[in-house]
Amino acid sequence: MLHPWLDYRLGILLKKCAKKRIYLIITEGYRSKAYQDALYAKGRTKPGKVVTNAKGSTYSSQHMWGIAFDIAINDSRLLYDHAMLKKVAKIAKKIGLGWGGDWRSIVDTPHFYLTKWGSTTATLKTIYTTPDVFRKTWKKKVKRSKGLLLWKAQSKLTGCYLRIPNGATVDVLYAKGWYMKVRYRGKVGYVNRKFVK
């Protein structure tokens, strides 16, 4: 239920953290509207302390859009240790993720997200209206009789991984200019976007 681009970056983050002997637990990913509203009620109409300012009914949580995840450190002594979360944040920012620890209200140090749409869901709501509409853009089909080459980089001089057959479904990470970055059978590369519908 995570956006393919976030899922891809999460994999990179896990590997880079493991190289530094920091092992992560993913504690939250996608959240339904009902679950988000239940979290919003904590400290307001339900017992507990306030944990979020984002209402499910207004699609205000990045989790509902599949562009965020929360973590803990896989060590009972350091579960939410601020210094360790800062180390993870430093790695995450280098691979293009945003960090909730940089927010002013509510500071959310276990929270990481795709920055393409900003630090709120306002842009997503303007473009797509609802998470369900947004989710439909994550997968596309190759529409070319001879299939489509999956290039290693935006430049075709770098070679290709394989040919994606006509009608095959790819995960769309993002589109820019003439190309689209996609994932197909575990490989991430670039295709000519005019042949992906």
List pLDDT tens digits, range 25-72. 999 999 999 999 999 999 999 999 998 989 999 999 999 999 999 999
Distance between CA atoms of residues 82 and 72, nearest Å: 10
What global pTM score does this model have? 0.92
Q: Which class would CATH give 139-195?
A: mainly beta
CATH 2.30.30.40 positions along the chain are 139-195
CATH code that applies to domain 4-129: 3.30.1380.10
* CA proximity to 110, closest of 87, 80, 137: 80
pLDDT band at 158 (very low <50, low <70, confident <90, very high): confident
Burial of 158 (0-12, 13-18, 19+ CB in 10 A): exposed
